[in-house]
Amino acid sequence: DAKTTQPNSMESNEEEPVHLPCNHSTISGTDYIHWYRQLPSQGPEYVIHGLTSNVNNRMASLAIAEDRKSSTLILHRATLRDAAVYYCILAGGYQKVTFGTGTKLQVIP
Amino acid sequence: KAGVTQTPRYLIKTRGQQVTLSCSPISGHRSVSWYQQTPGQGLQFLFEYFSETQRNKGNFPGRFSGRQFSNSRSEMNVSTLELGDSALYLCASSLESTGDTLELFFGEGSRLTVL
């Protein structure tokens, strides 16, 4: 299975941008990069996904390295509600999806 | 549109018993996957069903099993419960499970405590 590596935890000040990194050096050409986040006491929720090009949606932006071996989830202005565990996962074809332990983001008021 | 519904939300069992958890996916979703979440191991994939067929299975012992019905509802069963099975069991549904279409919608989970 393709694996991802993320820092265990990160901190950000409120209303500042946050860049959450993810390494996936064994990514295959057909793997999409997905990000989910899990708020306290909730199931994970979808954030964004992409293949090669950078992607934007109302929640975040996804920057994908040219060699696709790493990506960065960008929260443009962190709020207290963004405090969560963020998971970077790879999905391609009909395969089991491995979440890993994610990055716990703490937002400081 | 109703979300993913998991029942029961909480349950307590004793070692050696068995448990059945239920998951009703979002209407129209044909893929249902199950995850175990514990503080030490994070989210671990159990299995995924699509149109009543198990397509993928994680690295769990045979005590963990599941099935999917024709209406896409799914159940998972754990037999001969062990203390280490105490966890939050999450169900997720999606239209499909390929790379571009994989948008998982999770339920709130069933929290199992084994005494």
pLDDT at B1: 62
For β-strands B31-38 and B53-57, DSSP reports them as: unpaired
Percent above pLDDT 70 for chain B: 95
pLDDT at B101: 67
- Helix, strand, coil in percent for chain B, rounding step 5: 5, 50, 45
On chain A, the residues whose CB falls within 8 A of the CB of B109 are 43
Which DSSP string corresponds to A34-92? EEEEE-TTS--EEEEEESSS-EE-SS-EEEE-TTSSEEEEEESS--GGG-EEEEEEEE-
Whole-number Cα distances in Å, B70 to A26, B91, B92: 37, 17, 17
Distance of alpha carbon A87 from alpha carbon A4, whole angstroms: 9
- Taking only Cα atoms into account, the Rg of chain B, rounded to an integer number of angstroms, comes to 13
pLDDT at A95: 63
CB contact under 8 A, B106 and A44: yes
Coil, strand, or helix at residue B101? coil
- B110 vs A: CB within 8 A: no
Distance of alpha carbon A103 from alpha carbon B15, whole angstroms: 33
On whether the CB atoms of residues B107 and B3 are closer than 8 A, the answer is yes
In the predicted model, residues of chain A with pLDDT beneath 70 are: 1-2, 93-96
Residue A7, C-beta contacts closer than 8 angstroms, at least 6 positions apart:
A21, A103
Is B106 a residue whose pLDDT tops 90? yes
Between residues 65 and 84 of chain A, which touch chain B (CB distance below 8 Å)?
Answer: none
pLDDT at A94: 60
Coil, strand, or helix at residue B60? coil
- Name the pLDDT band for B2 (thresholds 50, 70, 90): confident
Distance from CA of A107 to the nearest CA of B (A): 21
Long-range Cβ contacts of A50-59 (<8 Å, 24+ apart): A51/B99, A51/B100
- B25 vs A: CB within 8 A: no
- B90 vs A: CB within 8 A: yes
Residue A37, C-beta contacts closer than 8 angstroms, at least 6 positions apart:
A44, A45, A47, A82, A84, A85, A86, A87
Buried b (16+ CB within 10 A) or exposed e, B75-89: bbebeebeeebebbb
pLDDT at A1: 56
Instruction: Please state the rounded mean pLDDT for residues B41-48.
Output: 88
Which position has the higher pLDDT, B100 or A81? Answer: A81
